[in-house]
Chains A and B, each alone.
Chain A
Amino acid sequence: MNVLDFARAFFADSAHWHGYDGIPTRFAEHIGYCLEALAIAAVIGLPVGLLTGHTGRGGNALALLATAGRALPSFGLLVLMFIWIGLGLLPVMIPLVVLAVPPILVTTYEAVRSVDPSPVDAARGMGMPEARVLFQVEVPVALPLILSGLRTAAVQIVSTATIAAYVSLGGLGRYIIDGLYQKDYAKVVGGAALVAGLALVTLAVFWAVARLAVSPGVRRGGRG
């Protein structure tokens, strides 16, 4: 059997489509974890990134923090938090947020930093207060890059959220972990295919959001 046969066997099994261990349930759980982690990471990363990008200070500290965040192993953090905190959603959210904050933070910082200074100066010259300069001039221009940081974070969360299954939570990782222990490779391949599919959907959603949210003027002149 090759990988495609495994996938076919998994998706053809009607037992995988209903009930507690069915694909719809696992999908909903997985999306739930991902959205929650992305929301927490965005609430932490976006304001700090915007502020440091606007003032231009703290870039080195951010770079260091980002490297530290990337260097800490998500799976190791999960096991450690599981030992310390016990079962629950919190031990899963901590590694996912640690994973997702660095790309959001660094990209947002870089995005605001790299906005063309002349319109920013013009806005200041017109007497705009700093907050309006940030939100009405810098953020709209930086939006494509800011969204790309969020997109990177989201895709990584989608694929890493599978580790939640190791601490007996749900999500698409259940198929992969259970498949590992049951030596049921069809299940593993099916789970992996679902995760990859969800990652592609995530990319598509971000593409659509960028299409709708980025001002046409920025899109035309922009760096794509």
Chain B
Amino acid sequence: MSGFFDLPSDLGQSWLGLVGLHLREALLPVLAGLLVSLPVAQLCVRFRWIYPPVLGIATILYAIPSLAFFVVLIDYFGQSETTVMIPLALYSLVVLVPAIVDGVRSVPPETLAAAQAMGFGAVRRYFQVQLPLAVPAIIAGLRVATVSSISLVSVGMLIGNQGALGNMLYAAQTYGRPALAVNAVLTIGVLGMLADAALVLLRLLLTPWMPRKGAGR
């Protein structure tokens, strides 16, 4: 009788090891997505005409199933973590760019005028006024991107066991141990919810000026 957290040795990892691997495969792409989407969103705010085409391309990318992405990328990066992480980074870009654009655009013009009157240059105004005020919108986008990234990593199982916790799904089928699949689904679900809660906490820390009552936005 094997315990709930005892994994078959061919997974090559302990349960905790898989959790660490899963978080790395899921969170690095979101971080990369955030780093890319900040300048892209800034371009979209500055030059309004590029926003619609950027959104259009993003929508098409988002509609491509992750598995198809993985399979095509195998040709270039092999059956590796990189292959799993590139599509996840693209997906988070799709969620983050509109969130940041909306957030930055929603800063009231009076606030910007006040900053300008105080002698803030464009760069300083962006980092000290626009970006902090856009934090709630950015975090809202990050929550969606992070949770879906954590849940999508499992599909990587199909391309040579690159799915971290998702690899337990294959083991569950091979060895006829449904408990392994239950474990995978629950662990991934709990990780997603914990990451979500951590982001909510981060927002509370970053936005001390916002009213505290209720669930917020």
Contacts and interface: CB of A to CB of B under 8 A. Distances in A.
A-B interaction? yes
A70 B63 contact: no
Interface on chain A toward B: helix, strand, loop, or mixed SS? helix
Contacts of A63: 215
Interface stretch (A38-46, A72-80, A142-150): A72-80
A192 B172 contact: no
A173 interface: yes
B151 A177 contact: no
A163 B67 CA distance: 8
B159 A180 contact: yes
A73 to B, nearest CB: 4
Given A73-B185, A76-B181, A188-B72, A200 B63 contact: yes
Interface stretch (B2-10, B116-124, B131-139, B189-197): B189-197
Contacts of A74: 151
Interface string B65-84: 10111011001000000000
Interface residues of A, number: 43
A112 interface: no
Contacts of A192: 64-65, 68-69, 72
A192 B159 CA distance: 16
Interface stretch (B11-19, B32-40, B142-150, B202-210): B142-150
Interface residues of B, number: 42
A212 interface: no
A68 B191 CA distance: 10
A188 B71 contact: yes
Contacts of B185: 72-73, 76-77, 80
A189 interface: yes
A180 B178 contact: no
B208 to A, nearest CB: 22
30 contacts: A59-B215, A67-B143, A67-B192, A68-B189, A70-B148, A70-B192, A71-B192, A71-B193, A71-B196, A72-B192, A76-B169, A76-B184, A79-B172, A83-B172, A83-B178, A155-B59, A155-B62, A159-B62, A176-B71, A177-B158, A180-B159, A185-B75, A191-B68, A192-B64, A192-B65, A195-B64, A196-B63, A196-B64, A199-B63, A200-B60
Interface of B: 59-60, 62-65, 67-69, 71-72, 75, 143-144, 147-148, 150-155, 157-159, 166, 169, 172-173, 178, 181-182, 184-185, 188-193, 196, 215
Interface of A: 3, 6, 59-60, 63, 67-68, 70-77, 79-80, 82-84, 155, 158-160, 162-163, 166, 173, 176-177, 179-180, 185, 188-189, 191-192, 195-196, 198-200, 203
